[in-house]
């Protein structure tokens, strides 16, 4: 019986040794700051600031079904706009941030306000790099009320807004 208890205790200690629990609130705050800086840089057409937390493997999913840009391709798309001083303004109104148990991954969803499009939604994933965070995926979408979704999707299809494989 003693040996069984010792074995169980050792198993629990070994099982817990690899899992470092982190205090999630400081991580949520820094993720929030990273996303706020990301949006502020876009509004100010600040190319370096906008891509400061971006990697070569990051993916941006835009509102059009054809808009899937990986790292450097998205930088190439954005550069001419930013060089002309034309950014894009999406004001965060509400954001939910979750952080993994080990504190190395965060995911979020946010409601945004845009002058042209009105209410939009951003969502994505960030990874901790050193003391900061990098955005590895950002998805910008238009939330559509279910009551009008069928009509909106018919119009999208009529406009050729779907991607055919």
Predicted confidence at residue 160, as pLDDT, reads: 83
Tokens encoding 112: 């945004």
Confidence band of 21 (pLDDT split at 50, 70, 90): low
Confidence band of 71 (pLDDT split at 50, 70, 90): confident
Q: Which of 102-111, 141-150, 151-160 has the lowest mean pLDDT?
A: 151-160
CATH of span 22-158: 3.10.450.50
């Amino acid at each position: 019986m003693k040996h069984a208890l010792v074995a169980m205790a050792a198993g629990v200690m070994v099982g817990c040794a690899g899992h470092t629990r982190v205090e999630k609130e400081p991580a949520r705050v820094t993720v929030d700051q990273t996303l706020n800086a990301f949006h502020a840089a876009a509004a100010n057409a600040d190319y370096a600031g906008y891509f400061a937390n971006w990697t070569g493997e990051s993916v941006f999913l835009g509102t059009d079904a054809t808009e899937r840009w990986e790292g450097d391709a998205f930088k190439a798309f954005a550069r001419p706009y930013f060089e002309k001083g034309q950014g894009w303004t999406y004001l965060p109104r509400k954001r939910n941030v979750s952080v993994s148990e080990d504190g190395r991954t965060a995911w979020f969803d946010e409601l945004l306000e845009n002058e042209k499009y009105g209410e939009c939604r951003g969502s994505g994933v960030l990874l901790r790099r050193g003391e900061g965070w990098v955005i590895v995926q950002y998805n910008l979408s238009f939330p559509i009320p279910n009551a009008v979704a069928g009509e909106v999707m018919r119009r999208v299809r009529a406009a050729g807004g779907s991607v055919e494989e």
